[in-house]
Amino acid sequence: MKIPYEEIAGYLKGNCSPSEKAAVEEWINRNPDHQAIFNSLKKEWKYLAEDPVLPAPDRERVWSRIGEAIDYQAPAALYTRKILVKYISLAACIALLLGVELSFLFNRGDHPAMQFTAYAPLGEKAMLTLPDSSRVWLNSGSALTYYARSGERVVSLQGEAFFEVTKDPRKAFIVQSGGVNVQVHGTSFNVSAYESDPDIEVSLEKGSISLINQKNGMVLADLRPNQMVQVSKSDLGCRVIADDAEITKLWTNNILKIYNNDIYEVVKKLERWYGVDIELGNARSDLRYTFVVKTESLRELLDLINKMTPITYKIEGKEVSIRLR
């Protein structure tokens, strides 16, 4: 599939001619795959700086090096249960078109402008390999920005991600999210920090991590394997509980775990998982749900929920209404 990246960039920047705009819109409307790609590019746009830093290097050389620096696997659309398109890192593509600094593709050392963003749209997931060989899985509706600073590796997370961090005693690895720094010491762990959630949850699979208050540098908690810390975004109060990290990271294997959640939490997770908007009616917060989603379509899952709690539902594209009876 030929994707008109340059034309789309002009379209999103708002500086294309009427004929170019019409051509992009015709391409978008040609088939659902094109629409999905455009929607992802549009969402990615807001995470990238629009002011050029340096002219982009030779285009062919950049394209060849992008594949070496960022191993991005296009996710499967969970709503349709089909893989739509495989394409290169959206952030890298748009950065290339904007002419922003891409020297990190050619120099793996520290550089003040070394930065990129990856985004997994709602209903999709992604996996990428960072320049230091650390691997990151992004859950639905999540964004990760990577920076390289002198003596440390820093990422900023919105949403949920599972990390396998390459150990490097010379360079600390730090995950920034919601007023908390997760200080990493060569390890694997899960961070859930969606904007709509009141808490940040960090689950440790192996190694060791420390949670640090971004403002004053105080240590909030140190974790051992199979422990989870829940940090309140409002006051950074935290509690450490026992956890099974293998279960917490099931989503990286396309398995959604719902455990003892009320209907509001269930709906929130289903919206992210399937990439839909759900309107809930006649809800009851006293009902709790526990189940696992593997390959079930949204309709199949709602039929399953109906067996637990009688409901009526209607699916119209990405708009879903559920009413408890």
pLDDT for 44 equals 54
For range 244-268, the mean pLDDT? 91
Instruction: Output 10 or 155, whichever has higher pLDDT.
Output: 155
pLDDT for 148 equals 63
Instruction: Output 61 or 162, whichever has higher pLDDT.
Output: 162
- 139 touches 156 (CB < 8 A): no
- 87 touches 74 (CB < 8 A): yes
Label the pairing between strands 288-293 and 277-281: unpaired
Structure tokens at 53: 């830093």
Instruction: Output 235 or 127, whichever has higher pLDDT.
Output: 235
Query: What DSSP state is assigned to residue 325?
Result: -
Provide DSSP, 88-153.
--HHHHHHHHHT---GGGT--S--TT-EEEEEE-TT--EEEE-TTS-EEEEPTTEEEEEEEETTEE
Angle at 93 between CA 88 and CA 94, to 5 degrees: 145
pLDDT digit string, tens, across residues 114-172: 567 777 878 888 888 787 778 889 898 888 888 766 677 889 999 999 999 988 888 88
Q: How far is CA 19 from CA 8, 24, 27, in A?
A: 13, 9, 12
Model pTM? 0.69
For range 224-239, the mean pLDDT? 94
For 151: left if phi > 0, alpha if psi spans -120 to 50, otherwise beta; the answer is left
pLDDT digit string, tens, across residues 170-219: 888 999 998 899 999 779 999 999 988 999 999 999 999 999 999 999 99
pLDDT for 87 equals 30
For range 234-260, the mean pLDDT? 92
Instruction: Output 45 or 11, whichever has higher pLDDT.
Output: 11
Instruction: Output 97 or 283, whichever has higher pLDDT.
Output: 283
- 321 pLDDT exceeds 90? yes
Instruction: Output 36 or 192, whichever has higher pLDDT.
Output: 192
Please report which confidence band the pLDDT of residue 34 belongs to, taking 50, 70 and 90 as the band edges. Answer: confident
pLDDT for 97 equals 40
pLDDT for 150 equals 65
